[in-house]
């Protein structure tokens, strides 16, 4: 009976039966103990004592069970002691095998290797343990060497090598080995299928998936729930969400948490947040992985606020502790929102709960602080890191770029090279953008020329830089010399440069290209109409407005938000929905009076920026960023930095007004628009009026 339950892996039952046996006064013999010890987990240590007392200590099977228990559960030294006490001639290959696996488990590669070398005889289990061991330490060449040398191989040996490849991201190798296996006439078992299907999922190749499914059908394989879950995951990753859902529904009561999680992340991957949420709400036994895929899913689908809400729910429930994966999503979400208070709260949560971050966690923090407009904190996190990778450098460089800190970006790239890390495509984009935002033409040129094989985005940055400093002819020539077809980003740079330098013809050229490439992007229409307006060509302004109407181009609603009291306060143009609206508008009127006294004149061309809805002059005065700033002035402490996030480019009038407000009110005002950061201080902006 004991052996029967042990075969079923029903360990609790084995231990229970043993207790019943004792209750009946039956003395267990040496046959019982190996089974018991195998089943009892750490409780086996107690049985070890029994065995010694009863004099079964020198029974070969009992001894092997004891070695195996200590080898699996530790301390490995205890296993070695029992092993060493066995006389040489009595030591069985199973004892050696238990020790070899044990040393691999406890990461003593040298000991495992040594035992393997001195063993008097080896069997297929020994060899397989070596393959598994080397795969575990990611030395796949060594693993393959042992695999190739094996005198005979079981399906378990093949599986060991397969999962070695699969788990180390070598999907190609795994699939090739699987072919070899089939050709060698080895019948794959369920573990093989799960491994191969997962390897196929990571490739995300629908054709490969289909051919694998055909093989499964041809061989009439009985699919257990593990294989079916692996299939579900494969369909999900290859984009066949319907097929994935069918398996999910068929599995019914056989679903486990892996099945649920695979389905939820499948929905998240295709951006079907509602279906993901529905499953999440009904899922029994949610674990950290479940929460992580929901939180990351919201964050990656632009729903940062939802991601943070869900994180708050998770920690309020107190059933599960967030791990690094959770925190990286949450930290990044704070960065996307530009919510510094929230970001600081999350960082405090990390310390309070002693959640350790790896490099990617720290990189997320650098990103968060940069996007929240606090480069000081971003730099501090960077400096405190023990080791940094290329992403750490790139993230900080992009931060410098967005803030227009050109020299710092260039210097950091040099430091990076000195530290032995080669700049990559992203590094160069960051540094060139930084040069552009800081107007550093010569430095930018040098960087551009140092790129071996410039990609399209590098050309876009260069065109942007030339355009911004007024070298429009050069910008156009650079574009014409590009070895590839320019994309919208390149023309976008040219269009914006034409706006800054009031170049109507060049603007028209760029805009007409953009209307073809991105017919739905209202921003291009508005930029061109601004160019016409500033040249006084009102008829053309009218024509653009008509074209937009005819093309059904919807203007993106502009909004701005500020953070206060743990909440984001969001405003749109002429917004009156906020509870402090009356006070906000009162302050706005007072400010306008003060500004006029200081010589401010509203810029009328900005009225025309918003061609569709806002034509009255007073509406310029109620652009969302102005409302957000007034609210911040009302609620924040005197002298505190004001941080605003805006989804569109700041208009001329707001830019001028904010400069004056910063001087009149004695405040630093940091505005993140969709292009860069503007740091307003004492009447000036860090962008030097080019953006
Ligand atoms: Zn404005
Ligand atoms: Zn500015």
Q: What separation in Å is there between the alpha carbon of 105 and the centre of ligand 2?
A: 58
Cα 662 to ligand 2 centre (Å): 12
Ligand nearest to the CA of 652: 1
Residue with tokens 């490439």: 517
Which H/E stretch holds residue 567? Answer: strand 567-572
pLDDT of amino acid 412: 97
Whose atoms come closest to the Cα of 684: which ligand? 2
Report whether pLDDT(257) > 70: yes
- Give the count of beta carbons closer than 10 Å to the beta carbon of residue 92: 14
Nearest Cα neighbor of 423 from 397, 400, 444 is: 397
Gap between the terminal Cα atoms of the chain: 80
Q: For residue 179, what are its two tokens?
A: 């072919």
User: When comparing pLDDT for 530 and 13, which is higher?
Assistant: 530
Q: What is the pLDDT of residue 450?
A: 95
| Cα–Cα distance for residue pair 660/668, rounded to 1 Å | 11
- Beta-carbon count within 10 A of 442 CB: 9
Which comes out higher in pLDDT, residue 65 or 670? 670
How far does the centroid of ligand 1 lie from the alpha carbon of residue 637, in Å? 25
Pairing of strands 677-681, 559-564: unpaired
Cα(656) to centroid of ligand 2, in Å? 9
Distance 669 CA to ligand 1 centre (A): 15
92: left (phi over 0), alpha (psi -120 to 50) or beta: beta
Q: What pLDDT, in 10s, does the model give residues 431-466?
A: 999 999 999 999 999 999 999 999 999 999 999 999
Residue located via tokens 């040996």? 157
- CA 209 to centroid of ligand 2, rounded, Å: 52
| Residue listed under structure tokens 């601004």 | 530
Q: In sequence order, which residues have a C-beta less than 8 Å from that of residue 528 and are 6 or more positions away? A: 495, 507, 508, 511, 544
Between CA 261 and CA 256 the distance in angstroms is 9
Q: Which one has a higher pLDDT value, 558 or 212? A: 558
Q: Give the pLDDT band (50/70/90) at residue 643.
A: very high
SS3 at position 189: coil
Distance (angstroms) between ligand 2 centre and the Cα of 619 equals 21
CB distance 164 to 177 below 8 Å: no
What whole-number distance in Å separates Cα of residue 112 and Cα of residue 91?
Answer: 17
Q: How far is the CA of 219 from the centre of ligand 1 (A)?
A: 67
Judged by its nearest atom, the ligand closest to the C-alpha of residue 605 is 1
- Percent over 70 (pLDDT), the chain: 97
Sort 162 into a burial class: Cβ within 10 Å, 0-12 / 13-18 / 19+. Answer: buried
Q: How far apart are CA 336 and CA 608, in angstroms?
A: 30
The pLDDT of residue 392: 97
Phi, psi of 524, rounded to the nearest 5 degrees: -65, -45
Query: Which residues on adjacent β-strands are paired with residue 679?
Result: 670
**Helical residues (DSSP H) of 150-219, grouped into ranges:** 155-167, 171-183, 190-203, 206-218
Q: Nearest bound ligand to CA 676?
A: 2
Q: Are residues 677 and 670 in contact, defined by beta-carbon separation less than 8 angstroms? A: yes
State yes or no: pLDDT of 47 exceeds 80: no
Q: What is the distance between the alpha carbons of residues 398 and 404, in angstroms, rounded to a whole number?
A: 10
Mean pLDDT computed over every residue of the chain: 89
pLDDT digits (tens, 9 = 90+) for 197-245: 888 888 777 777 777 788 877 877 777 888 888 888 888 888 789 989 9
- Characterize the bridge pairing of strands 642-646 and 669-672: parallel
| pLDDT reading at 609 higher than 70 | no
Treating both helix axes as pointing N-terminal to C-terminal, what angle do 93-105 and 109-118 enclose, rounded to 10 degrees? 160
Phi first, then psi, for residue 641 (nearest 5°) are -70, 135
- CA 166 to centroid of ligand 2, rounded, Å: 50
Q: Where are the alpha helices (DSSP H) in 252-303?
A: 257-269, 273-282, 288-300
Distance CA 175, CA 594 (A): 73
Run of H or E including 249: helix 241-251
CA of 54 from ligand 1 middle (Å) equals 88
3-class state of residue 423 by DSSP: coil
Nearest ligand to residue 649 Cα: 1
Whole-number Å distance, alpha carbon 678 to ligand 2 midpoint, is 4
Residues making up the chain, counted from first to last:
691
User: Does residue 615 register a pLDDT over 60?
Assistant: no
- Partners of 646 in beta bridges: 560
**Residue 609 Cα to ligand 1 middle (Å):** 9
Confidence at residue 604, expressed as pLDDT on a 0 to 100 scale: 58
CA 608 to centroid of ligand 1, rounded, Å: 11
The arithmetic mean of pLDDT across residues 290-316, rounded, is 94
Comparison of pLDDT for 650 and 212, the residue scoring more: 650
Spatial separation of the C-alpha atoms in residues 316 and 467, rounded to whole Å: 51
Q: What is the pLDDT of residues 141-185, one digit of tens each?
A: 999 999 999 999 999 999 999 999 988 888 888 888 998 998 888
Q: Are 365 and 340 in contact (CB under 8 A)?
A: no
Please state, in angstroms and rounded to a whole number, the distance separating the CA atoms of residues 483 and 474.
16
CB atoms within 10 A of CB 240: 17
pLDDT at 68: 87
pLDDT of res. 464:
94
CA 685–ligand 1 middle distance (angstroms): 15
Q: How far, in Å, from the CA of 270 to the mean position of ligand 2? A: 37
Where residue 605 falls among pLDDT bands split at 50, 70, 90?
A: low
Lowest mean pLDDT segment, chosen from 186-190, 299-303, 609-613, 614-618: 609-613
Q: State CA 460 to chain mean position distance.
A: 26
Distance CA 164, CA 136 (A): 7
pLDDT given for residue 612 in this prediction: 43
Cβ neighbours around 599 below 10 Å, total: 7
Residue 684, H or E segment? strand 684-685
| Lookup: tokens for 55 | 């004099």
Task: Give residue 470 CA to ligand 2 midpoint distance, Å.
Answer: 17
pLDDT in tens, 89-133: 888 899 999 999 999 988 888 889 999 999 888 899 999 999 999
Q: Which ligand is nearest to the CA of 690?
A: 2
More confident residue, 26 or 286: 286
Instruction: Pinpoint the alpha helices (H) of 318-358.
Output: 324-337, 340-352
Give 345-388 pLDDT, tens digit per residue.
999 999 999 999 999 999 999 999 999 999 999 999 999 999 99
**Residue that wins the pLDDT comparison between 427 and 535:** 427
The predicted pLDDT at position 602 comes to 67
User: Residue 539 C-alpha to ligand 1 middle, in angstroms?
Assistant: 23
The Å distance, Cα 654 to ligand 1 centre, comes to 4
Q: What is the mean pLDDT of residues 38-48?
A: 75
Looking at residue 603, its pLDDT comes to 65
Decide: 438 and 406 in contact? Cβ < 8 Å: yes
Is 427 in contact with 416 (CB distance < 8 Å)?
yes
């Amino acid at each position: 009976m004991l052996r029967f339950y042990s075969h079923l892996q029903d360990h609790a039952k084995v231990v229970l039966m043993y207790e019943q046996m004792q209750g009946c006064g039956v003395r267990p013999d040496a046959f019982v103990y190996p089974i018991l010890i195998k089943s009892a987990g750490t409780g086996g240590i107690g049985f070890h004592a029994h065995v010694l007392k009863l004099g079964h200590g020198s029974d070969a099977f009992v001894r092997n069970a004891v070695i195996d228990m200590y080898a699996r559960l530790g301390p490995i030294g205890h296993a070695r002691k029992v092993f060493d006490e066995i006389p040489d001639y009595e030591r069985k290959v199973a004892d050696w095998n238990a020790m070899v696996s044990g040393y691999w488990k406890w990461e003593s590669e040298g000991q495992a290797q040594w035992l393997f070398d001195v063993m008097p005889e080896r069997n297929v289990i020994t060899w397989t343990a070596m393959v598994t061991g080397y795969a575990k330490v990611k030395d796949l060449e060594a693993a393959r060497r042992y695999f190739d040398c094996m005198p005979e191989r079981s399906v378990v040996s093949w599986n060991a090598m397969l999962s070695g490849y699969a788990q180390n991201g070598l999907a190609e190798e795994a699939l090739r080995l699987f072919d070899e296996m089939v050709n060698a006439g080895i019948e794959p078992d369920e573990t093989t299928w799960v491994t191969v299907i997962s390897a196929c999922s990571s490739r995300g190749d629908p054709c490969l998936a289909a051919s694998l499914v055909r093989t499964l059908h041809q061989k009439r394989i009985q699919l257990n729930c593990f294989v079916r879950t692996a299939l579900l995951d494969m369909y999900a990753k290859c984009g066949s969400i319907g097929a994935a859902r069918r398996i999910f529904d068929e599995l019914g009561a056989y679903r486990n948490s892996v099945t649920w999680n695979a389905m939820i992340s499948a929905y998240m991957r295709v951006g079907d947040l509602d279906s993901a949420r529905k499953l999440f709400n009904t899922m029994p036994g949610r674990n950290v992985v479940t929460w992580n895929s929901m939180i990351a899913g919201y964050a990656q689908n632009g729903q940062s606020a939802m991601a943070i809400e869900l994180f708050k729910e998770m920690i309020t429930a107190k059933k599960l502790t967030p791990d690094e994966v959770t925190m990286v999503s949450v930290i990044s979400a704070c960065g996307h929102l530009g919510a510094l208070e929230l970001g600081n709260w999350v960082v405090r949560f990390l310390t309070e709960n002693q959640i350790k971050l790896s490099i990617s966690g720290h990189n997320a923090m650098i990103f968060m602080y940069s996007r929240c407009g606090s480069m000081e904190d971003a730099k501090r996190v960077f400096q405190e890191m023990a080791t940094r990778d290329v992403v750490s450098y790139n993230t900080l460089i992009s931060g410098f770029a967005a803030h227009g800190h050109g020299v710092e970006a260039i210097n950091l790239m040099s430091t990076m090279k000195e530290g032995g890390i080669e700049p990559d495509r992203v590094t160069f984009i960051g540094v060139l953008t930084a040069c552009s935002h800081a107007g550093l033409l010569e430095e930018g040129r040098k960087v551009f020329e140092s790129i071996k094989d410039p990609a399209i985005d590098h050309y876009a940055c260069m065109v942007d830089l030339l355009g911004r400093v007024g070298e429009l002819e050069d910008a156009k020539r650079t574009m014409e010399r590009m070895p590839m077809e320019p994309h919208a980003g390149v023309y976008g740079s040219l269009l914006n440069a034409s706006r800054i330098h009031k170049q109507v013809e060049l603007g028209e050229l760029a805009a007409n290209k953009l209307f073809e490439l991105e017919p739905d992007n209202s921003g291009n229409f508005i930029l061109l109409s601004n160019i016409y307006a500033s040249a006084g060509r009102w008829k053309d302004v009218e024509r653009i407005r008509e074209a937009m109407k005819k093309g059904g181009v919807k203007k993106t609603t502009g909004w701005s938000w500020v953070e206060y009291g743990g909440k984001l306060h969001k405003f749109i143009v002429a917004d009156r929905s906020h509870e402090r609206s009356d006070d906000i508008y009162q302050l706005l009127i007072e400010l306008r009076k003060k500004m006029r006294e200081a010589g401010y004149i509203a810029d009328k061309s900005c009225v025309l920026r918003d061609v569709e809805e806002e034509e009255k002059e007073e509406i310029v005065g109620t652009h969302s960023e102005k409302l957000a700033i007034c609210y911040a002035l009302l609620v924040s402490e005197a002298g505190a930095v004001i941080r605003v996030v805006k989804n569109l480019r700041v208009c001329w009038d707001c830019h001028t007004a904010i400069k004056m407000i910063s001087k009149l009110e004695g405040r630093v005002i940091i505005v993140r628009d969709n292009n860069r950061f503007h740091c307003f201080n004492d009447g000036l902006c860090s962008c030097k009026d080019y953006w």
